[in-house]
Amino acid sequence: MKALFKKLIPKFYGALLNLYVFLSPKKTVEKAFTIFTKVRKGRVLPHQNDYLDPVRHERIDIGDHTIQTYKWPGNKETVLLVHGWESNTWRWHKLIEKLREAHFNILAFDAPAHGYSSGKYLYVPLYAEIVEEMIKIYKPDHLIGHSVGGMTLLYNEYQNPNAKVKKMVTIASPSEFHEIITHFQILLGLSNKVSSALEIYVKNRFGFTIREFSSTRFVQKNNKKGLLLHDRWDKITPYHASENVHAAWKESTFITTEGLGHSLHQEDVNKKIISFLQD
């Protein structure tokens, strides 16, 4: 019964939007966008406190947000970790163990509306603003992003090429924004009228169309060394996303796993990341 109720809630919102668009298209798409970008999970859970609290670093004001950072000092190159949707810095704890063993200097942060950072909403252009500020402040040599975090890294590099960054790693990251939007439209059962208005809203607000926002397009001139990891049976982000990005990114290496899921935090995966950074 509970599962059915959860399934019906998005359809209820979609039905309201489908009706309201005839009265006020502008307010309808604004509401649709807030539903799309609203973060419902990802705050620090009780079992994560003991790990995160001792390594809390600076709290940095960026735009309208206060961002919590974390630091694990090391005498090797600096690595910046960028987590995915409805997650937080704790998701990196297994990789951080390996990075510390290899003596990397490690920085991480909670995205807006995640972990100990402020906010209620998150979308890639906003996330990219935070990432770019972190790069300016901490000057990392390597960037690692999981899921939408990886997509954000590729978008930010396209918008703001960073000469100091040597290597980039994406883990189970999506590529095509139109695929994400299509999933959202189906989930809510949005009408063609609402979907068309949403596309116009995105173009007017961010300066790109839904189909133009593509990691495959972003990496075509990316000259950084890249490592892409994706599980063939990933149920959250499609495997073909990393396949296509790899085909367009000349300096990338692609590692496929099978049956390891979306998180890809297994020891063998983390060893491959360390090996790539050390090579």
* Whether the predicted pLDDT of 34 surpasses 50: yes
- Asked whether residue 248 is domain-assigned, the answer is yes
- Asked whether residue 16 is domain-assigned, the answer is no
Contacts of residue 137, defined as CB under 8 A and 6 or more positions apart, other chains included, come to 60
Number of domains in the chain: 1
Single-letter code of the amino acid located at 35: I
> What is the model's pTM?
0.96
Q: 80 has which bridge partners?
A: 107, 143
- Asked whether residue 194 is domain-assigned, the answer is no
| Burial of residue 166 (number of CB atoms within 10 Å: 0-12, 13-18, 19+) | middle
Note the pLDDT of residue 8: 72
Q: Are 79 and 141 in contact (CB under 8 A)?
A: yes
Q: How many angstroms separate the CA atoms of 170 and 168, rounded?
A: 7
Q: How many angstroms separate the CA atoms of 233 and 256, rounded?
A: 10
Instruction: Give the pLDDT confidence of 95-130 residue by residue, as tens digits.
Output: 999 999 999 999 999 999 999 999 999 999 999 999
Instruction: Give the pLDDT confidence of 229-250 residue by residue, as tens digits.
Output: 999 999 999 999 999 999 999 9
Note the pLDDT of residue 7: 66
* Whether the predicted pLDDT of 5 surpasses 70: no
90: CATH: 3.40.50.1820
Alpha helices of the chain — where are they, by DSSP H? Answer: 2-20, 25-37, 46-52, 93-101, 124-138, 148-159, 177-188, 192-206, 215-218, 239-248, 267-278
Instruction: Give the pLDDT confidence of 195-204 residue by residue, as tens digits.
Output: 999 999 999 9
- Asked whether residue 206 is domain-assigned, the answer is no
* Whether the predicted pLDDT of 4 surpasses 50: no
* Whether the predicted pLDDT of 270 surpasses 90: yes
Q: What is the residue range of 234's domain?
A: 38-176+214-278
